[in-house]
């Protein structure tokens, strides 16, 4: 039985096995937006984020 | 060996525990959190499962999850991309929950459950199939699963034999009988994933003749059905694949008016539409089942998925198809997949022989007499104590014969959406006013919905035109059968407009006290049948704890609660702080 991998490992295996490469840009975009949201909550970086928009 | 199954994040979260091949505990999260159809991570249900066996999460060998999240995520992205830009709004609203919890299911399993071992992900419809076949009494059976949608699949059939399941064919999203039923449910102004059974109950009031019901012909335009029962939707009639509402404008135009507003009157056309929907469903299901029989050449059928809760159709399956025996587990909808997960891991993945048959639905939390007494005393609740079971049975039956409404709280809670004699409200079906009394005092249901009868299994064939022998799913209130004409007027509150009843049969081996009360009631009234409806107020889950039960009684017009071996009379106790009636919503 295969041991559980990390989420990124699972996503990579999923994309590879199902050949669902079309999902890659969407997943990357969602991850980047997620990171942006997390970082924008930190006061040190928020002025730069606000400036971007 | 212990295996814990988890189902969550769609609707009706649940957890189930398997011990050495036997399902020993299972419960839905809503019963603990008191949020109807709660879809949050079932931490309370999981804790109950572990506590019931006196074990900790460290004793659990495997945890299983009821679907493959990445496969479902692929479907979500695909459906949004195909409908872009119409789907932008739902895409943006659904993504946070996917990024925060649904894709990261390992996180709550590790953090909330504190589980460090292997987690196995079972495909949704396989979990459904396993939840029915692997705990069924059949060595070999054809399997049909039909629901809204899993990852991609909406309908699948296959064959189960010993500890193997082979799913042979599938129909994929967006073509889904479950979603068709939900779409019309929404069109008729009822809530989706909750009130489909109301539409089923409404259907006999409509024109059930396919030749004269104009909506039947109209609904046929929506679906292309082949002779083997496979079907394809014309998606221009639907919006569920890209919006947060289900029927499209085109469907409203086809059916001749906009979506019914929730509290507006249910008219004849709504009843005819419900009837048309039920007929369309039955016609497709019969075609599918005939095809499944042809392919599998098996005389046993097991069903699972939300559509398997369509008890009106279930009661017709053995008459309309070549199948000879049927089995459906009491929690056939998504909530029930957690027992499928644990059974699949044990029997199929680990290859262990099947040694367990689900013979009753009493898998939930139970409370000892001591615990109940402590609760009553602590809250200064006035009660009387039965000397023995005989006195409990005699008194309860007498109170029921006098047309009192009784809250019945005994033993372990039921698994699944139906109250089956552990957390039930019981009353006298012979009283012609009982339906109105129950609605006035407790349930506040729509007038078109009758209550369900419970009858001892050995008496069922006297009153109900059931298949013979009486199929076991009737134990779980999953089959509707005609009531013989001579009895219909004698039990009016459980007789539907078409003369049918959604009966529950009970065997003494399943629930001795419940069985005895029904028999004793029969000795008072000559009819050993009771009204059995779920012990809850409108909009709330079925009561779980003594506190829930007492609060429910005091917030409603229930006359007595028989809790363990105590009798509590509402009038003897002060209502004020317990009055939850005003919170009732649907």
Kindly state whether residue B357 falls inside one of the protein's structural domains.
no
- Which residues 191-250 in chain B show a CB within 8 A of chain A? none
Tell me which chain B residues have a C-beta less than 8 angstroms from the C-beta of A4: 106, 118-119
Question: Does residue B181 share a domain with residue B312?
Answer: yes
Instruction: Name the minimum distance, in Å, from the CA of A53 to any CA of chain B.
Output: 18
Say whether residue B350 is in contact with chain A using an 8 A CB cutoff.
no
Q: Which two tokens stand for residue B248?
A: 């499209």
Q: C-alpha distances in angstroms, B233 versus A48, B20, B283, B299, B586?
A: 49, 44, 15, 30, 31
Q: Which regions in chain B score pLDDT beneath 70? A: 576-586
pLDDT number for residue B439? 86
CA distance A29 to chain B (A): 12
Taking CB atoms and an 8 Å limit, are B103 and A18 in contact across chains?
no
Which pLDDT score, from 0 to 100, does residue B578 have? 64
* Rounded Cα–Cα distance for residues B108 and B386 (Å): 45
How many other C-beta atoms can be found within 10 angstroms of the C-beta atom of residue A22?
12
Residue B172 lies inside a defined structural domain of this protein: no
A30 vs B70, B71, B99: nearest CB: B99
Whether residue B161 lies inside any domain: the answer is no
Are B285 and B398 part of one and the same domain? no
3-state secondary structure of B456: strand
Q: Are residues B379 and B345 in the same domain?
A: no
Domain end point (choices B297, B327, B357): B327
Give the pLDDT confidence score for residue A23 in this predicted structure.
94
Interface subset of B 112-131, CB within 8 angstroms of A: 118-120
CB contact under 8 A, B99 and A1: no
Determine, for residues A7 and B103 on separate chains, whether the beta-carbon distance falls below 8 Å. yes
Whether residue B230 sits in one domain with residue B194: yes
**Cα angle: B237, vertex B175, B133; to 5 degrees:** 145
Could you read off the pLDDT of A1-53 as tens digits, one per residue? 657 888 899 999 999 999 999 999 999 998 888 888 777 766 665 665 555 55
| C-alpha span between B550 and B546 (Å, rounded) | 6
Domain match, B131 and B216 both: no
The answer on B513 and B392 residing in a single domain is yes
Spell out which residues of chain A touch residue B95, defining contact as CB-CB under 8 Å.
30
Which parts of B229-336 fold into alpha helices (H)?
249-255, 268-296, 311-320
**What is the structure's pLDDT at B449?**
81
- Tokens 């644990």 map to which residue? B342
Whether the full predicted model's pTM is greater than 0.80, yes or no, is yes
Q: Which of A5, A10, A17, A31 to mutate to test the interface with B (most CBs of B within 10 A)?
A: A10
Looking at the fold, whether B392 and B509 belong to one and the same domain comes out as yes
* B46 and B192 together in one domain: no
Is residue B163 domain-resident? Answer: no
Nearest C-alpha of chain B: how many angstroms from A41?
16
Q: Cα separation of B336 and B11, whole Å?
A: 11
Residues of A whose CB is below 8 A from B70? 10-11, 14
Same domain, B39 and B91: yes
* Closest CB to A4 among B99, B104, B106: B106
Residue pLDDT, tens place only, B501-546: 999 999 999 999 999 999 999 999 999 999 999 999 888 999 999 9
Residues B541 and B575 grouped into a single domain: yes
Q: Is residue B141 one of the residues assigned to a domain?
A: no
Nearest CA in chain B to A32: B99
Closest residue of chain A to B104, computed from CA coordinates: A7
Q: Looking at chain A, which residue has its C-alpha nearest residue B101?
A: A7
Query: β-strands B384-385, B406-409: how paired?
Result: unpaired
Tell me the CATH number at B341: 3.30.420.40
B121 is a domain residue: yes
Is any Cβ of chain A less than 8 angstroms from the Cβ of B92? no
> What residue numbers bound the domain in which B423 lies?
369-583
Q: Do A1 and B104 touch (CB under 8 A)?
A: no
CB contact under 8 A, A14 and B70: yes
Confirm or reject contact between B70 and chain A (CB < 8 A): yes
- The b/e string for B535-567 (b: 16+ C-beta within 10 A; e otherwise) is bbbbebbbbbbbebbbbbbbbbebbbbbbbbbb
Q: What is the pLDDT of residue B585?
A: 44
Q: Could you give the number of structural domains in chain B?
A: 3
Residues of B in contact with A1 (CB under 8 A): 118, 120, 349
Domain check: are B248 and B380 in the same one? no
CB within 8 Å of chain B, chain A residues 5-44 = 7, 10-11, 14, 18, 20, 22-23, 26, 30, 34
B34 lies in some domain: yes
Q: CA–CA distance from B12 to each of B15, B178, B187, B333, B360 (Å)?
A: 10, 16, 23, 8, 20
B64 has which bridge partners? B5, B120
State whether residue A4 sits within 8 Å of chain B by CB: yes
Does the beta carbon of B88 lie under 8 angstroms from any beta carbon of chain A? no
Look at residue B385 and tell me if it is in a domain: yes
CATH number at residue B405: 3.90.870.20
**Chain A interface includes B168 (CB < 8 A):** no
- Domain match, B379 and B417 both: yes
Neighbours of B121 (CB within 10 A): 19
In this predicted structure, what is the pLDDT of residue A52? Answer: 53
Contact B118 A4 (CB under 8 A): yes
Of B74, B99, B104, the CB nearest to A18: B74
pLDDT for position B560: 97
- B236: how many CB neighbours lie within 10 A of its CB? 12
| Per-residue pLDDT at B292 | 98
Output the CA torsion B413→B415→B419→B424 (10° steps): 0
Q: Which residues of B touch A18 (CB under 8 A)?
A: 74
Give the 3-state secondary structure of residue B23.
strand
């Amino acid at each position: 039985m295969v041991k559980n991998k990390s989420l990124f490992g699972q996503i990579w295996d999923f994309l590879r096995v199902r050949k669902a490469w079309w999902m890659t840009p969407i997943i990357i975009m969602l991850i980047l937006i997620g990171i942006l949201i997390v970082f924008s909550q930190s006061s040190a970086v928020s002025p730069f984020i606000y400036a971007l928009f | 060996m212990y295996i814990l199954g988890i189902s969550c994040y769609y609707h009706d979260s649940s957890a189930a525990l398997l011990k050495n091949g036997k399902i020993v505990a299972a419960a839905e999260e809503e019963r603990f959190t008191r949020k109807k159809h709660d879809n949050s991570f079932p931490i309370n249900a999981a804790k109950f499962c572990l506590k019931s066996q006196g074990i900790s999460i460290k004793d659990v060998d495997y945890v299983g999850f009821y679907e493959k999240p990445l496969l479902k995520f692929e479907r979500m992205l695909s459906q949004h991309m195909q409908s872009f830009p119409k789907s932008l709004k739902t895409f943006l609203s659904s993504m946070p929950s996917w990024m925060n919890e649904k894709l990261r299911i390992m996180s709550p399993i590790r953090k909330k459950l504190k589980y460090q071992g292997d987690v196995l992900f079972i495909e949704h419809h396989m979990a459904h199939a396993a939840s029915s076949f692997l705990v069924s009494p059949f060595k070999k059976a054809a399997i049909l699963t039909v629901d809204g949608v899993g990852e991609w699949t909406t309908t699948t059939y296959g064959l189960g034999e010993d500890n193997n399941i082979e799913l042979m064919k599938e129909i994929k999203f967006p073509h889904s009988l479950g979603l068709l039923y939900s779409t019309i449910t929404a069109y008729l102004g009822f809530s989706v994933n909750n009130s489909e059974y109301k539409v089923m109950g409404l259907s006999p009031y409509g024109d059930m003749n396919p030749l004269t019901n104009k909506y039947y012909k109209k609904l046929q335009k929506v679906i292309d059905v082949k002779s083997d029962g496979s079907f394809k939707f014309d998606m221009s009639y639907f919006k569920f694949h890209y919006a947060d509402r289900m029927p499209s404008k085109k469907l409203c135009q086809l059916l001749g008016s906009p979506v019914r507003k929730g509290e507006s009157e249910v008219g004849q056309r709504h009843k005819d539409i419900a009837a048309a929907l039920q007929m369309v469903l039955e016609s497709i299901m019969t075609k599918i089942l005939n095809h499944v029989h042809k392919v599998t050449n098996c005389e046993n059928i097991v069903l699972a998925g939300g559509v398997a809760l369509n008890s009106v159709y279930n009661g017709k399956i053995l008459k309309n198809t070549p199948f000879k025996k049927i089995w459906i587990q009491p929690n056939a909808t998504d909530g029930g997949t957690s027992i499928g997960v644990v059974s699949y891991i044990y029997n199929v993945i680990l290859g262990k022989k099947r040694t367990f048959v689900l013979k009753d639905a009493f898998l939930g939390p139970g409370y000892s007499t001591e615990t109940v007494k402590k609760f009553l005393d602590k809250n200064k609740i006035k009660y009387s104590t039965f000397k023995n079971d005989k006195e409990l049975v005699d008194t309860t039956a007498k109170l029921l014969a006098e047309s009192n409404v009784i809250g019945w709280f005994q033993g372990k809670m039921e698994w699944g959406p139906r109250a089956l004699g552990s957390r039930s409200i019981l009353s006298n079906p012979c009283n012609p006013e009982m339906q109105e009394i129950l609605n006035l005092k407790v349930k506040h249901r729509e007038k078109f919905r009758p209550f369900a009868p419970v009858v001892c299994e050995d008496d069922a064939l006297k009153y109900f035109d059931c298949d013979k022998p009486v199929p076991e799913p009737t134990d779980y209130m999953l089959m509707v059968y005609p009531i013989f004409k001579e009895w219909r007027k004698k039990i009016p509150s459980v007789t539907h407009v078409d003369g049918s009843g959604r009966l529950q049969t009970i065997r003494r081996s399943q629930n001795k006290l419940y069985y005895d009360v029904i028999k004793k009631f029969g000795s008072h009234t000559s009819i050993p049948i009771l009204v059995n409806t779920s012990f809850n107020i409108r909009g709330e889950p079925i009561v779980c704890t003594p506190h829930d039960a007492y609060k429910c009684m005091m917030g409603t017009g229930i006359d007595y609660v028989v809790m363990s071996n105590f009798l509590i009379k509402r009038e003897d106790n002060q209502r004020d702080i317990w009055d939850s009636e005003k919170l009732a919503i649907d």
